[in-house]
Structure 1
């Protein structure tokens, strides 16, 4: 099992990062991709990836932080992307739900990061919330220039999933699917995702699976719980969880060029 989305730079992990990573590997996780959400956090994620075995990182600017994007940001991102730990550009994309940065700022930063990824021949690790049509409109011109792309933490509709899959995107599935209040639509569309386009992630410390028994004492999610997500996804897809874990590992190798 490989967790493609772990926010290890989060302050929620400040006191016990070593234990978090150790518990993940003890629970059967084989690799971790640490998410970079702005240029500073991307450097911190890279440093953490270099500190732990079987860890890699992304480098990019999240739509929430897009207001920070400047002409110099591309140069900083180029430098980060050339480091051996960094295997994807992102987390980048659009989030029109909260608009912590304006839509215009988000679109400018997203397009600029797609250009960096295309020039460097790197996959992109993307975010989209309440912006599906505009997200695809900006992404489409770059798809034939990118080696691959994943829409992480996918929570959209069946049609949105099909739109992404038709474009060859991978979809990252989190513990959102374990939420009986808001994850039922995602649960129902799981069988529509081809096995060779599916990736799994915790997005820890966020999105603790609600159906874990016994419930963890803390509401903080962690990568050690990835196995629970894999088991539930396999159950709803009517697949063997060991087979699905192996398939998603192969998808990680294909998309990110990582040897686990």
Structure 2
């Protein structure tokens, strides 16, 4: 059963791109979405995706860390990027009040511009949030009727936060964060309440290498990779007490439903 990794930072220089993609495909991760986190990285993500058609797709957006760079011209350039078939979502966008590389005011402006763009273009949003949940949910509620959908990328929150996203009929992106019994405890407690119909899988490579994964530094230099998505799927299936094949099928179908530019190729009961 093939998998789709919905969040891979292939523009990160730590990843040896060709080898990482080959290992992913050999591990039955047949499709990957390259994350755009700034205007420049979004352009690079799109270029990379054209080199691996029907395997790589990408997002186009501005991460809250880069919100101070956001101008009216940014919206124009993002709009132009979305004309390409490889671009499947607006983002990574959202709010991050943890380190405030951009001020909250700058972040709110950039996020709202991208929400409006997603509404205009009928594209889903690829969401980031850290220490800004209440403000993020408030804006999402304001724009939700105009959005075709979205995913809480790399969700690490509580059951209550998950419920708030689910109430907006959004998807939840699960990484290997839950494999860490210490840092991931809140997520581990939330996962049993996650409906299969709202589940998406991702690695956020090269970040968030799952705890418990065998050391293979000669191969991966200690980085996380899309090839490790089956490990995450297996651990998650155990936690949810379902068969891994059922989980993978649901995740694949959900991915293709949220990002219709990616062909589903399967039927689903979810």
TM-score range, shorter chain: over 0.9
Q: Shift in Å at residue 216 of structure 1?
A: 2.4
The answer (yes or no) to whether the contact 2:158–2:189 under 8 Å persists in 1 is no
**TM-score of the aligned structures, taking structure 2 as reference length:** 0.94
Match of 1:10 in 2: 12
Deviation of 1:193 (Å): 0.6
Does structure 1 residue 256 correspond to structure 2 residue 235?
A: no
Task: Measure the CA separation in 1 of the matches of 2:83 and 2:142.
Answer: 24
What is the DSSP-based 3-state SS (H/G/I as helix, E as strand, rest coil) of the residue aligned with 2:29?
coil
Q: Could you tell me which residue of structure 2 aligns to residue 238 of structure 1?
A: 241
Question: Gaps (5+ residues) in structure 2?
Answer: 265-270
Partner residue in 1 for 2:24: 24
Match of 2:60 in 1: 59
1:31-50 CA distance string (max 9 Å, x none): 10000000100010011111
RMSD: 0.8
Note the residue ranges of structure 1 that are not aligned, 5 or more in a row. Answer: none
Q: What is residue 146 of structure 1 aligned with on the other side?
A: 147
How does 1:93-112 map onto structure 2 within 5 Å? 93-112=94-113
In structure 2, the residue matched to 1:40 is 40
Question: How far off is 1:188 after superposition?
Answer: 1.9
The CA deviation at 1:219 is: 2.0
Partner of 1:116: 117
Residue 168 of structure 1 pairs with residue 172 of structure 2? no
Tell me, yes or no, if the aligned pair for 2:127 and 2:152 is still in contact at 8 Å: yes
Which of 220, 223, 227 matches 1:220? 223
SS of residue in 2 equivalent to 1:153: coil
Displacement after TM superposition at 1:27 (Å): 0.6
TM-score, structure 1 as length reference: 0.97
**Secondary structure, in 3 states, of the residue corresponding to 1:58?**
strand
SS at match of 1:155: coil
Determine the structure 1 residue equivalent to 2:79: 78
Cα distance between partner residues in 1 of 2:150 and 2:85:
19
Runs of 4+ in 1 over 6 A off after TM superposition: none
What displacement does 1:100 show?
A: 0.6
